[in-house]
Amino acid sequence: MDKNAQAARNKKIRHALMLVLLIILFICFVFPFILVIINVFKTKADITSAPLALIGKHGFTLKNFPTAMEKMKFWRSFGNSLCITILSTIFTLLLSSMTAFVIVRNKWKATTLLFSAMIASMVIPFQVLMIPLVSFYGGILGILNHRATLIFMHTGFSLSMATFMFHGAINTNVPVSLEEAATIDGCSRWQTYWKVVFPLLKPTIATVAIIDAMAFWNDYLLPSLVLAKKELYTIPIATQVFYGTFSTDIGLVMAALLLAMLPILILYLFLQRFIVEGVTSGAVK
């Protein structure tokens, strides 16, 4: 066997091994999700006795969904999560894109220091700020237990990463010549941003929107610190009603998690084609 044939054979073997490895990793990744889908239509007894069975001894049931929705006050929690997620995402997109535009187009020492401080803040764990944050906003200002407070905090914590992504996108995808042409045509700085710069950032906007919306929607720790009133609970906090001291109804938990997952999954399916383009738009100049 000549060297070319041997090299081609080795290449095929490597590709086959890589494919097998990827399939195994994919199965490991989606297995918990499949397990939720299988068990959400079973009774608690069937889940406990045969969690891997496709259908339990008591057959197929849909009772978990209405029971879970009633116990966790689903529509109230859904409305809270939807309001907080949408407003936090909108504020993050607007503020971060405008901040990045100012930083990129103005080479001042102040903007350089601001951008450096924002990048540095990304490495600070939230757990370090958790106790001072609650002590200050709750003990001193007394503004906890408000949706607006949680929206404000979500926006603040997500601003640095979003600004970093928009900074790279504007540097790469928005030529200065377009802005100069808009200025010659009579556009103000504000009009140039909205009519020229912002429309060119659609892939990055979609990427930041899905990343932040998923983070806001699924967040448990920060809302649990800020929102103590049951009428303000988001979906992740509302699911804690199913966890008892001595027992947990796994069927209701899975039904609640599946209901919480669907809205953000639908959003991802609509925006997924923009995500890869948005992530790589600021990577290469």
Query: Does any domain span residue 222?
Result: yes
pLDDT the model gives residue 59: 77
pLDDT of residue 282: 47
Residues 34 and 156 in one domain: no
Cα 203 to Cα 228: distance, rounded to the nearest angstrom: 37
Residues 94-107 pLDDT 10s: 999 999 999 988 88
Residues 153 and 259 in one domain: yes
Q: Are residues 190 and 232 in the same domain?
A: yes
Same domain, 274 and 219: yes
Residue 57 belongs to a domain: no
| Total domains in the fold of the chain | 2
> What's the pLDDT at 95?
94
Query: CA 73 to CA 80: how far, in whole Å?
Result: 11
| Inter-CA distances, 18 with 10, 25, 28, 150, 272, Å | 12, 11, 15, 44, 25
Same domain for 119 and 219, yes or no, is yes
Same domain assignment for residues 17 and 96: no
Q: What is the pLDDT of residue 280?
A: 54
Q: What is the pTM of this model?
A: 0.81
161 and 232 together in one domain: yes
**pLDDT (0 to 100) of residue 285:** 45
Looking at residue 55, what is its pLDDT?
79
Residue 284's pLDDT is 47
Q: Is 82 part of a structural domain of the chain?
A: yes
The pLDDT value given to residue 9:
81
For residue 58, tell me if it sits in a domain. no
Per-residue b/e over 251-265, b at no fewer than 16 CB within 10 Å? bbbbbbbbbbeebbe
Is residue 129 assigned to a domain? yes
**Quick one: which of 245, 251, 220 has its CA closest to 68?**
251
Q: What is the pLDDT of residues 134-161, one digit of tens each?
A: 888 777 777 888 888 899 999 999 999 9
Give pLDDT, residue 279: 55
Tell me, what DSSP letter sits at residue 285? -
Q: Tell me the CA end-to-end span of the chain in Å, nearest whole number.
A: 45
By residue range, what is the domain housing residue 200? 71-280
Is 211 within the bounds of a domain?
yes
In a domain, 61, yes or no: no
Q: Are residues 24 and 132 in the same domain?
A: no
Same domain, 26 and 147: no
In this prediction, the residues of the chain whose per-residue pLDDT falls under 70 are 1-2, 244-248, 273-285
Report if residue 190 sits inside a domain: yes
Same domain for 22 and 113: no
243: helix, strand or coil: strand
